[in-house]
Every structure is written in C-alpha cells, then in structure tokens.
Structure 1
Amino acid sequence: MPFVVPRSADLPPATWAAYGLTTLTVVPLVARRRAPVAVLIAVLAAGALYRFTVDGPGQPLPYTGLVAFYTVAELSASRQRLAVAVLVLAAVFPSVAWNTGEARELLFSLFVFAAAYAFGRFTHTRKAYIRAMEDRARQLEVTHRIEAERAAAGERARIAREMHDILSHAVSLMIVQAEAGPVAVRTAPERAEAAFDAISETGRDAMVQLRRMLGVLREDAPGDTPSPRAPQPSPADLPALLDRVRSGGLEVTYAVTGLPRPLPAATGATVYRIVQEALTNVVRHARANRVTVELAHAPAELTVTVTDDGRGPGATTGLGLVGIRERAAAHGGRATAGPGPGGRGFQVFATLPLVTSPEGVGS
C-alpha cells in the first residue's frame, strides 16, 4: 500500500526489513501441502515477529495463518490436527489481549479459525468422496469390460457349437449318402436317385441354416436388403430332421411322452441341436441299424434321450458331446453320454428344466 497511498507523515517510512517480514508470512505457503504443520508454525512465527519488531508497511492480517490452518485441517492426521488446533487456540487469546483485548476481536478470531478448520475438513471429505467415486467408476469399467469379454467368449462358443452342429450333421449325412450312391447305382438305380436327392436336400438345409446364422451376425449396411431373421429350429422341426437321417438307411423311431407344451425359443432350439448332434454321432461313429429319439415331458423338466444299437461307447469327450453338455448347462440342466440299456449301443441323455412363468414361454 505505501507504493500506492503514502503513509501518514507522523509514521516512519516503511523499511526493507518490514517488507521482508511481510514476504516471510506468505512465501512458506508454497510448501503448505508438503509440510502443513511446519508451514503454519513458520507463518505464525513470521507474523509474531512482524508485530513485535517492526512497524510494517500496512496492517498485518491473519490470511496466511488461516490458509495454513485450513491446509492442516485438510491434510494432516487426526493427532496432528488436534495438537495444532490446541496450539492455535492457545495463541489466539494472548494475541487478542496484546492487540485490543476486546471480546469482539476474540470472538471474530475464534470464528474465522474455526471456519478455516471446518472448511479444511469439508474439503478433505469431498476429495475422499470424489476419489471413492472415481475408484468405483474405474472398477465398474473394469467389471463391464470383463463382463463384455466373457459375453463375447460365450457368444463365440455358442456360434462355434451352432456351426459345428450344422456342418457336422450335414456333412456326415452327405458322406453316408455319397458312399451308398455308387453301390445303389449298380444294384438299385431308384435308391441311387433317392440318395442324391437326400444329399441335395441336406446341403440346401445346411446352407439355409448357415445363411440364417451369418445373416444375424452381419451388420446390415445402409441401403442393403435386411438379412433374413428366420426363427431358430425347434422340436417341431425334428420330424424333418429324422426323415433326412432315415434317407441314409438308418431306422429311426421317434416318441413323445407326457403332455407337450410350448417351450421358450432358446430351449426349443437346444432340444433340436442336442438331437441333431446325437444323430450325427450315430451316423458317423456308431455303425448302428436303429436309433430311438424320445422326448419325455414332465411338469418341471424335459428329458431328451437318443439311443442306438451300434458298437457301443467310444470317446465321450468329443466336441459334439462337449457341446451337448454345454447347451444343457446353459439352461440349468445336465447331459450324460455312455452305454445304452444293458450295456449295448450308445445313449445320450439330457435333462432341461422348464420355465413355468408366462414370460419364459415362446410361441
């Protein structure tokens, strides 16, 4: 202020020592976040030295002490805060007595230092809350990323099962028909024609199912014709599937017991795929003459049984059987594979819990 408004003529001019002490009450604040208690002691000591030794260039206000005390309240540990608060409280009384000694000044000093402490604690709480929210947001982001990766992995596994079931079944039937074709040409031409028709029908059906799946995966570009969204296969499609298997010379029996009822679309597709994969294994590996497919409807579950009279159990850990178990487990069910009744042939047995709420039943 003396550079702007000259001091009264009855006051001695301000000295460089006074300016230096004024500066010492401010400069320590640079380090207030690294050493808040030491900075508070330094600025209070500089203020006291200013008051008792020089007639400075202006009125020394306690702003720097308030800022330092606020920082102690924000950053220091509880023991340090309490010790510093007691020290400041003890310093307020002699400071006021040395200055005016009035109750007004005492109350004002106590109020402003208490407010500085309260604001420091409020800032500490607010920053802790913000950090907690940021940590929670990061954790949620990581959780969402993990869930997305798991969902993507599950979807890849589901697509792999679908592709395996469609291609394995179709190719197996086509191979059987193709191998029987040359023999039939020499012995029964009409059977050869039926075999070639079966190959063609099986290939077309596989192409339709693959096109349906790939159409769902592909994102339609603007202006493109929307990909077809045909429904997933269901138990209602099993007779056609069994007819294709019969065309290869295998005797297939189909039985439904219990009271059939509408199934959720996902459950119905799983039933179809389990039967399809079990029949594929029969065609490829069992060397069977007969196979029985049975759907047993119970109030709370549906069981699927595919039994053949072939050469009996071989490996039970192939991709197809693993896929059957995964499909059943995805609906809360289970699937087993092993010897048929009496140890003859091979049997696939799957149990699927049924959804009883109306929301879970597809049309």
Structure 2
Amino acid sequence: MRARTLGGANPWAVDIGLALLVQAAMTMPFVVPRAPDLPPATWAAYGLTSLTVLPLVWRRRAPFTVLLAVMAASALYELALDGPGQPLPYTGLVVVYTIAALCPARVRLGTAALLAVAVPVSVWLNTRSARELTFSLFVFGAAYALGRLTDARQRAARVEAERAAARERARIAREMHDILSHAVSLMVVQAEAGPLAVRRAPEKAEAAFDAISETGRDAMAQLREMLGVLRDGEDPAPRAPQPGLDALPELLARVRAGGLDVAYETAGEVRSVPPALGATVHRIVQEALTNVVKHAAAATATVRLARAPGRLTVTVTDDGRGPRGGASGGHGLVGLRERAAAHGGTAAAGAGPGGRGFEVRAEFPLDEGAGVRG
C-alpha cells in the first residue's frame, strides 16, 4: 500500500520534496562550525547555493534545460564567490539521474558530451587533482547508470502490466462468451420449441417458458457479477464464487430442459479438486454442451469426469452429426484450450468414439497432495 501511494503521488509534490531534501543537504556546510582559515559562510553564498537547487522543481518537465541552469548557477558560484564547498554535486547528480531515466537517447548523448567537458573544467577551477576528477566521473557515471536501471525497470513493469491486462481481457472475453453463448443458445432452442409445445402439449410449453426465464435470469446474474468487476471507482462488493463441479447438475438440468438428454458419469473422487480447476471444468462442460445444442442436432449427450492418479479427464460426447465445419478453429474451442492451458492441461475436439458424433476432451494434471473440495 505504501509503495502504491508513493507511486501515485503528485509529481510536483515529489519534485518539491526532493528539492527541499537537496537544499537541506547543501545547507549543512553553512551551519556546521568552520575553521577560521576557511572561506566564510555568507548569505550571498547561501543564496546562490539555493539558486542551484531551485531548478530541480522542474527536473521532469525540462530536464536538459534544468541541467544547463544548474551548471550555470554552479559556475557562477565557483567564479564569483568564495564560499563553503559541497562534499557532493547533489543537484547535478539528481538531474543526470533524471535525464538517464526519462530522456530519449539523443538527449542522453548530449548530456554525456556536455559532462565530458564540464566535469574536467570544474575540477580544474577547484582542486586540479586527478583524485577529484576520478571521483567526479565515477559519481556522475553511477547516477547515469542508476537512471538507466530505473528506466529498464519501469519499462519491464509496463510490459508486465500490459500482459496482465491482455490476460484479463482474454479471461473476461472467455467468460462473456461462455455465459452469453450458453444462455442464448438454450433460450433460442426453447423458444423455437415453445409454439409447437403450445399446440401439442401445453404443460411442456409452460415448462419451456419457465426454463427460458430461469436461463435468462441466471445469465443476467452472472453478467452483473462480471460487470461489477469492471466498474472503476467502486468498492468491491461480495461476489458469489465461480460455478464449480457442484453446479454441474444444475447446468445439465437446464440443458435437459431445452430438449437434449444429457447423462452424467463420474469415475474416481472427482469432487475433491481445487476450486479454480472445478470452475474451469464447469466452463468447459458448459461450452461443449452449448456447441451440442447449437450445432450437433443431437438427441443425447454424455458428460464424463474421470479421476486417475495425478490426472483428471473430462469428456463430452454426443450422438449428433459429427465434426462440424470450423469446429476446430472457433472461439469456443480456442477458449477451451486457453482454459485448459491455464492449469497445465490440454483440450481437443473431434469425432466421437467409432467416428460417431462429436467429442470434446480435456485432461488436467492433479497435485494429489492438494486435494480440496471444488
């Protein structure tokens, strides 16, 4: 939380605070006791020292101009006044770091050329010693290197944030596809069967309309949950967990209400899987059954979950017309593969057993030591 607060602070406030900190450091030689043989700490010298610090407030808006202003004020201090010196060129180091972190290559190159002349000249005006020259080149080089490292870290953070946003968009797209495609497909099938049922079996028509209403309400509830996540500036409200394996019977009941006879088979202890995997299995079964309803012209389908040591297998088969054109490349199957891959698993689709019907098959590795009810 603290890092987030500092990262989102007003840049002006940060730069003013930094300038005040540098001013405090440069004030030290003026307030500590001085030997009688050293130059006096005058108000004029202190005022000009402060003038070298003031441009730091604009360091992010015009860093190269600020560097020129700092160098000009520092040169004036060296040439016109004989005041207390500073143990480090604080203002120059801050501006060089800023240029290295924020400016394009041409500005950085110009800064390096300028410093290659200014640093030796400054040393010549001060002590003319190789020791000071070496130290000055080292500290300015270190400030530049730190700025480049900061830029690299920020770039990496932006790339990771963009990747995370892309993953989240893909996840939301899959959820929206699964919810809407499943609900709309069932509602269309039930609505098309409604008029025929009204004429031949009114009691079935009432059940079909009830199923349409229930499917629509369920889809709206899930969409509200998802849209709540996307709202900005609102406190997160408590949300229901994603449907998992416990919700499969309800899902199959809705599909049966649409006229498809769905069988449900299990082998092994399939319920004790992590909740996230359970939610993925639920969505895979939902998408597979949606495709059966929309494309297969099937009378029956079978959902089978089988758990073997270290593995969970999910298959959805139907007795419909077999592989459909584009089935291997549609958004639905792409979403299934992405969901499976997120858990280290695989998903595939093709002709059913014996070449009859259609089958969706997904396999997931299981950590047998992490069995949790899903």
Q: For the residues of structure 2 that align with 1:64 and 1:320, how far apart are their CA atoms?
A: 73
Does 2:308 align with 1:298?
Answer: yes
Q: 2:269 pairs with 253, 259, 264, which one?
A: 259
* Cα deviations by residue, 1:220-249 (Å, 9 ceiling, x for unpaired): 647xxx634111110110000000101111
Q: 1:318 pairs with 330, 344, 364, which one?
A: 330
Are residues 282 and 33 of structure 1, via their aligned partners in 2, closer, same or farther at CA, if it must alter by over 3 Å? closer
Answer yes or no: is the 8 Å Cα contact 1:215–1:228 preserved in 2. no
Answer yes or no: is the 8 Å Cα contact 1:307–1:340 preserved in 2. yes
Are residues 119 and 355 of structure 1, via their aligned partners in 2, closer, same or farther at CA, if it must alter by over 3 Å? farther
Structure 1 residue runs of 5 or longer lacking an equivalent are 1-25, 41-62, 70-115
| Cα deviation, residue 219, structure 1 | 4.0
Does 2:266 align with 1:183?
Answer: no
Which residue number in structure 2 is paired with residue 272 of structure 1? 282
SS in 1 for 2:250: helix
Answer yes or no: is the 8 Å Cα contact 1:212–1:228 preserved in 2. no
Which residue number in structure 1 is paired with residue 140 of structure 2? 127
Q: 2:151 pairs with 94, 113, 138, which one?
A: 138
| Correspondences of 1:26-175 after superposition (within 5 Å) | 33-34=116-117, 64=124, 67=127, 69=128, 116-175=129-188
TM-score by length of 2: 0.65
* Cα deviations by residue, 1:282-316 (Å, 9 ceiling, x for unpaired): 00000001101011112212111000110010121
SS in 1 for 2:322: coil
Which residue number in structure 1 is paired with residue 214 of structure 2? 201
State the structure with more CA Rg.
Answer: 1
Which residue number in structure 1 is paired with residue 18 of structure 2? none
Which residue number in structure 1 is paired with residue 291 of structure 2? 281
| Correspondences of 1:343-358 after superposition (within 5 Å) | 343-356=355-368, 358=370
SS in 2 for 1:34: helix
Amino acid at match of 2:292: V
Are residues 261 and 248 of structure 1, via their aligned partners in 2, closer, same or farther at CA, if it must alter by over 3 Å? closer
Structure 2 residue runs of 5 or longer lacking an equivalent are 1-78, 80-113
Which residue number in structure 2 is paired with residue 73 of structure 1? none
Answer yes or no: is the 8 Å Cα contact 2:270–2:312 preserved in 1. no
Does 2:295 align with 1:212?
Answer: no
Q: For the residues of structure 1 that align with 2:205 and 2:115, how far apart are their CA atoms?
A: 95
SS in 1 for 2:350: strand
Are residues 163 and 33 of structure 1, via their aligned partners in 2, closer, same or farther at CA, if it must alter by over 3 Å? closer
Q: How many residues align?
A: 261
Which residue number in structure 1 is paired with residue 345 of structure 2? 333
Answer yes or no: is the 8 Å Cα contact 2:245–2:279 preserved in 1. yes
Are residues 147 and 350 of structure 1, via their aligned partners in 2, closer, same or farther at CA, if it must alter by over 3 Å? same
Q: 2:251 pairs with 213, 217, 241, which one?
A: 241
TM-score by length of 1: 0.67
Are residues 32 and 317 of structure 1, via their aligned partners in 2, closer, same or farther at CA, if it must alter by over 3 Å? closer
| Cα deviation, residue 216, structure 1 | 2.5
| Cα deviation, residue 134, structure 1 | 1.1
Answer yes or no: is the 8 Å Cα contact 2:317–2:358 preserved in 1. yes
Q: For the residues of structure 2 that align with 1:227 and 1:138, how far apart are their CA atoms?
A: 37
